[in-house]
Amino acid sequence: MNILVTGGSKGIGKNIAGGMNGCIFTCGRNEDLLKSFKNYCVCDLGTLEGMKKLGDYIEANRIDILINNAGEYIYSHIEEIGINEIEHITRTNLEAPMYLISRAVPYMKKQKWGRIINIGSISGVMGEAGASLYSATKSGLIGATKALALELAEYGITVNTINPGWVDTDMGNTSANEGDFSKEEIVECIPQRRFVQPSEITGMVKYLISDEAKGVTGQSINLCAGLTCGC
């Protein structure tokens, strides 16, 4: 199987790409961070050029499993968000996944099998004050997942979203430091009193691409150490 993980240079994406069995393809903006993988595409999914470049790469390599992991986080009060930030975050987090899916689906339809997994966020489920733009784009992924699951079901293609809570990565820790609360205060609001490990997300991805999960589609799965249940 040919598996593409976007945003595979670090964090969740790198853990997913390193934990899969098959022919792994990945992408990112920093070539030096991608060199541990044999197959990679250097591109910026926050630009139209980067999106089109990766779309061509997907078609050329006949991707069976697409994992849309690349994303950008911004913590900013709504009156402080500029038009350039809106364009960049929306393109990276929502437009790029939709476009990449559109390029991957023709081959999946032809072979009557495919797996599409979007990495969303609890912020797209619950909302996050000070991160409305990020929340909006991740919520959009959930809606797209449901619609695409219906559209593609007859072709043996499943589409699901995994919504991590606070994850123990550089991005997760940086996001915690940029907010109004300390990491210790955040942990106190998580029922399991811990950040999720990237390996837990990889394990969920492995399940969703397996034959055992062929009946699971259109789902928004919260992997958040109980955060959506309340404090």
For 26, list phi and psi in degrees, rounded to 5: -145, 175
- Of 40, 75, 99, 134, the active-site residue reads 134
Q: Helix 11-19 crosses helix 198-208 at what angle (to 10 degrees)? A: 50
How far is the C-alpha of 92 from the C-alpha of 79, rounded, in Å?
21
How far is the C-alpha of 35 from the C-alpha of 183, rounded, in Å?
32
Closest alpha carbon to 69 in 81, 86, 83, 54: 54
Sequence-separated (6 or more) residues with CB below 8 Å from residue 120: 138, 141, 142, 161, 162, 163, 164, 220
Alpha helices in the chain (DSSP H): 11-19, 31-34, 48-61, 83-90, 96-111, 123-126, 132-152, 170-178, 183-188, 198-208
99 is catalytic: no
The residues annotated as belonging to the active site are 134
